[in-house]
Structure 1
Amino acid sequence: MSRSLGRPLAVLTLLAVLAVTGCTGESPATPTDTVDTGATVSSAPADAATAAPSSPAAVALVPGGSAQQNLPFFSQVVATVWAGSGQVDGRAYIDALAGAGFDKGAMQVTPDESTIGNAAESIEFSVRLGADCLVGQVGPSIGDPVTTVLPGLSSGGCLIGQTRPIDW
């Protein structure tokens, strides 16, 4: 696949995921927050606690918190991995998220390679938190990492399509 087709294909894939997720009878499929390497864009009105600017070092895991509450921390972990040498290594993201305190048993990740053995144009990974999911997408066809909150699937997972076992 050429690079010029990679970004539109990634956008179409994300739109397809959103459309199919909307068919599960779960909450609406529109993301409540989208984060691009740490900048949160929220559709909810800001209150005094969220209106104050915070540095990336100020965010932390909220144990027992919602996906919405943990999105800034999830995004920070993803951005840290993206800045390193394992940019398109699913295991690097899963290990970093688990090391940061997210439940590895609640995670999913797509393969790092295509079905013919080429490096993936993008990979997705997720953490299920209650009824919602923290979802990240990275890869050369994406540009900067994208993280968001999406409703969980009725099957119990977060990602549609082929995922690989997290058996390490």
Structure 2
Amino acid sequence: MARTTALLGALGVMLLLTLGLSGCAPAAESTAQPTGSPSDEASAPTATAQPTLDPEGSAGDNLDFFDAVNEKVIADNPDALGMDFIDALVEAGFEKSAMEATEDYSTVGNRAESIQFSVRWKDKCLIGQNGEAVGGYHSVVMNMLDAGTCLVGNTRAIG
């Protein structure tokens, strides 16, 4: 009981700090223009450019595109498995022979709590992870392992 009370107290302090610090953020500047202004058409909002694959770029340069592909997979199928990500990445232009993925199921047939998948890109790795156990989708650029792979441990065959 004392541990629960202490935990709730700590969470309350964190909430108060968060609320207090949010008031320290600078106010956003207004970009509103008077109606009838000659620059109305020029100031119309434009669509944000979608990331694209940059074959000459670094792994870091391609992380936004990697994320966009994987986030679309999840939006289309929240229960996506490893090959769903691999197939989408191949379709998006990443090289299949440079990919790895962990198993979707344990040796006793239980669904993995999270899966990882990667693409070797030059001397780096684009690594994605998805699953409820890790709070959803995450990605990172990491150095390749000494073995020339991206993921630690056993990975599945990528057909």
Residue type matched to 2:59 in 1?
Answer: A
C-alpha displacement of 1:64: 2.8
Shift >6 Å, 4+ stretches:
none
Correspondent of 1:132 among 124, 139, 142: 124
1:105 match:
97
| Separation (CA, whole Å) in 1 of partners of 2:149 and 2:78 | 25
Pick the structure with greater CA Rg: 2
SS in 1 for 2:60: helix
Structure 1 pair 105–142 and aligned structure 2 pair: CA distance change class (3 A): same
Q: TM-score, normalised by structure 2?
A: 0.67
Aligned residues: 114
1:155 match:
147
Contact preservation (8 Å) 1:88, 1:139: no
1:9-20 equivalent positions in 2, closer than 5 A: none
| Separation (CA, whole Å) in 1 of partners of 2:151 and 2:128 | 10
Residue type matched to 2:50 in 1?
Answer: A
Residue type matched to 1:75 in 2?
Answer: D
1:2-151 equivalent positions in 2, closer than 5 A: 57-85=49-77, 87-151=79-143
| Separation (CA, whole Å) in 2 of partners of 1:56 and 1:90 | 29
Larger RCO of the pair (alpha carbons < 8 Å, separation 6+): 1
Percent identity (aligned):
46
C-alpha displacement of 1:86: 5.5
Q: Give per-residue Cα distances to partners, 1:111-150, cap 9 Å, x unaligned.
A: 0001111001000000000110000000121222001101
- List runs of 5+ in structure 2 lacking aligned partners: 1-45
Q: Give per-residue Cα distances to partners, 1:20-48, cap 9 Å, x unaligned.
A: xxxxxxxxxxxxxxxxxxxxxxxxxxxxx
Q: Give per-residue Cα distances to partners, 1:43-83, cap 9 Å, x unaligned.
A: xxxxxxxxxxx966521000132100000000111101111
Contact preservation (8 Å) 2:73, 2:80: no
C-alpha displacement of 1:97: 0.3
SS in 1 for 2:142: strand
2:41 match:
none
Q: Give per-residue Cα distances to partners, 1:86-113, cap 9 Å, x unaligned.
A: 6340000000000000000000000000
Q: CA RMSD in A?
A: 1.7
| Separation (CA, whole Å) in 1 of partners of 2:152 and 2:47 | 33
Contact preservation (8 Å) 1:81, 1:92: yes
Q: TM-score, normalised by structure 1?
A: 0.64
